[in-house]
Amino acid sequence: MAEALVISGLSKRFGGLRAVQDVSFTVQENETVALIGPNGAGKTTSFHLITGFHRPDSGSVSAYGRDITGLKPHDICAHGLVRTFQVAKPFGAMTVLDNVMTGAFLRD
């Protein structure tokens, strides 16, 4: 099975706050994983780092063998890694399918 996502040594600080420290894991193609923990554990920050909303201080993110560390979110989406948010903001004039397919147009 191919490695779809490889996170290695990901870390991020905000001033004196260590939000994420040395996070590493691998997700195989067609595998489902969960990132769980208490409030303030760094789950959301980890997702922001992986999907380009924050730049990591150290570590790397690879999607399907390509280093995507520090790329902008739209560039990461074009490499096949997309995310959803807790509060959805769909395009009101579009169908559900059109909303879901919006990200597919960015694929390279």
In the chain, how many domains are there? 1
77: buried, middle or exposed (CB in 10 Å: 19+, 13-18, 0-12)? buried
If you average pLDDT over every residue of the chain, what do you get?
Answer: 90
Q: How far apart are CA 20 and CA 42, in angstroms?
A: 6
Q: How far apart are CA 42 and CA 48, in angstroms?
A: 10
Q: What percent of the chain has pLDDT over 90?
A: 69
Q: Report the 10 Å Cβ neighbour count for 52.
A: 20
Residue 71 has pLDDT above 60, yes or no: yes
| 46, two tokens | 């980890």
Q: How far apart are CA 58 and CA 21, in angstroms?
A: 9
Task: Let me know: does 63 contact 69? Beta carbons within 8 Å.
Answer: no
Q: Which domain holds residue 60?
A: 3-106
Q: Per-residue pLDDT tens for 24-41?
A: 999 999 999 999 999 999
Q: Report the 10 Å Cβ neighbour count for 42.
A: 19
